Amino acid sequence: MKERHQKTRRAAAGPPPLPPESAAALKEQVARLKEALAADQPPATLADLVTPRPADLAWDLHLMSELAKIAHADIPPLLAVLFGQNPDKERYKALKKALHVLKTRGVPVPAELVLREAPESAQALEASGLQAQVSAIFGNGERYVILEGPRVVLGGNLLVARLSDQRGLRECHLLTLKRQQRQEFWEQFYSQGLDAWTAAPPGYVLRLLEEALALTPDGEPSRDSYLPLRETLWRHLGRPDDTPPLEDLLPPLSPAERGGYLEQSRRLATGELCRSWLPSPEEIVPWIEKLKAAQDSPLVLSEQQQRLRQEGVLDDATAALFPKEGRPRWGRRLLELAYFLDLVGRAEEARAAQAAGEDLLAGDRGVLSGENPFLQELVRYALMLAWEFFKQKEPQPQTSPGLAPPTDSLIRR
């Protein structure tokens, strides 16, 4: 009885306090969300403003608690998107409580969002020995994967690997961390901006590890670190070939759907998850000069003619920065991003990434069909960011005229 009372008191006390850095980050995200709600931004864009941390229970519990304080009709669907996909026991309880609090404050909570019993997937996940987390895939084709489980299975409690779709296993570490050390481990990731994570099927992570292993040269330390664990993982998770390939994890798109989602991929290209996909400043600066030359042409051109000339430069830049031989790799990265977005409950963005990826893998774009919209928007956005940067700088006499701070918008849309 005494132990039960202690548990009740602990539950009533709420989640453990966040470290100062995390608390400040949470406050900033919630403030940004409130501004967006006040500005009546579309509900589909709200999930980009707050970031759950599947590996940080305290963060997610505090985030749900803060969202439950915002009496707005868009909050219940947002909570469902952020936390309604296979929540574990603690998150399930916190999500149910947050929806109840909102309902008591007069916020409409759709019936389909009301949680009545824990999902079977959460119970199965709790019963299994291993759990998996994956980061979003970066523009260079790298990502982190983490398998967590009992020491009797792994020999430690955390297997951390950095994977590359070109160079295979870049890092592989088996760690034994206590609770405080785990908190510090995740804080280090978050402090470096690596805060886009989601829970994933362990079999999917095993398949990623095996695909990376096939690309890893003999003698690499990361390869030698992984091989002793391979038999154990196969025994507990099954053979990698038993896991469906990536293409089978995504729903088929009709030609009409693909066309619509291809255009939507432009918005995805400018989102937070794709910032690392943008061309570097060194790559983009020469194309600013070419756009400036097109804009400053001595020919008298109509606005439409100027726009066509700029689109031509954009297409040339896209073709040069994303060469044809490398596009299947970019297509594969987009499919991986699509599955990641599915796992976090952002289905519309997932389909946009899928459509753009399948378009690149098909490789049948001709002159009339134009450039891949996702890649073209990456280039357009990188040019606009660079142009704004130069616009804010003070004019420097010794600077090349092509790089002088502009007075007008460079790219007409």
Higher-scoring residue by pLDDT: 303, 199: 199
* Confidence (pLDDT) at 8: 43
Domain boundary among 126, 145, 176: 126
Q: Is the pLDDT of residue 174 over 90?
A: yes
* Confidence (pLDDT) at 14: 66
What are the pLDDT digits (tens) for 237-254?
A: 888 888 889 999 999 999
Q: Is the dihedral of CA 45, 46, 49, 52 positive or negative?
A: negative
Domain boundary among 243, 278, 304: 243
C-alpha triplet 141, 147, 150: angle, nearest 5°? 170
Residue 170 φ/ψ region, left for φ over 0, alpha for ψ in the -120 to 50 degree band, beta for the rest: alpha
Percent of the chain scoring above 90 in pLDDT: 40
Domain boundary among 66, 101, 126: 126
Tell me the pTM.
0.70
* Confidence (pLDDT) at 6: 47
Six token digits for residue 323: 């060469």
Average pLDDT, the chain: 82
Helix (H) or strand (E) holding 174: strand 168-175
**Looking at the structure, do residues 61 and 73 belong to the same domain, yes or no?**
yes
The span from the CA of 181 to the CA of 397, in Å, is 53
What are the pLDDT digits (tens) for 47-83?
A: 888 888 876 788 889 999 999 999 999 999 899 888 8
**Looking at the structure, do residues 265 and 372 belong to the same domain, yes or no?**
yes
Closest C-alpha to 161, from 149, 150, 175 = 175
Higher-scoring residue by pLDDT: 352, 409: 352
**Looking at the structure, do residues 259 and 389 belong to the same domain, yes or no?**
yes
Percent of the chain scoring above 70 in pLDDT: 81
**Looking at the structure, do residues 141 and 110 belong to the same domain, yes or no?**
no
What are the pLDDT digits (tens) for 175-226?
A: 999 888 888 888 888 888 888 888 888 999 999 999 999 999 999 999 999 9
The span from the CA of 49 to the CA of 80, in Å, is 15
Task: Report which residue type is found at 275.
Answer: R
* Confidence (pLDDT) at 43: 82
The partner residues of 171 in beta bridges, in order of sequence, read 162
Give the mean pLDDT of 6-20: 59
**Looking at the structure, do residues 117 and 8 belong to the same domain, yes or no?**
yes
**Looking at the structure, do residues 139 and 229 belong to the same domain, yes or no?**
yes
What are the pLDDT digits (tens) for 316-374?
A: 899 999 999 999 999 999 999 999 998 888 889 999 999 999 999 997 765 556 789 99
Is residue 51 one of the residues assigned to a domain?
A: yes
Contact present, 137 and 337 (Cβ < 8 Å): yes
**Looking at the structure, do residues 186 and 309 belong to the same domain, yes or no?**
no
Looking at the 3D structure of the chain, how many domains does it have? Answer: 3
Tokens 């980061």 correspond to what residue? 135
Name the least confident of 93-97, 309-313, 399-403. Answer: 399-403
Is residue 412 one of the residues assigned to a domain?
A: no
State the CB neighbour count (10 A cutoff) for residue 119: 15
Higher-scoring residue by pLDDT: 289, 330: 330
**Looking at the structure, do residues 98 and 164 belong to the same domain, yes or no?**
no
Domain with 361, as residue range(s), is 255-403
**Looking at the structure, do residues 266 and 399 belong to the same domain, yes or no?**
yes
* 10 pLDDT tier (thresholds 50, 70, 90): very low
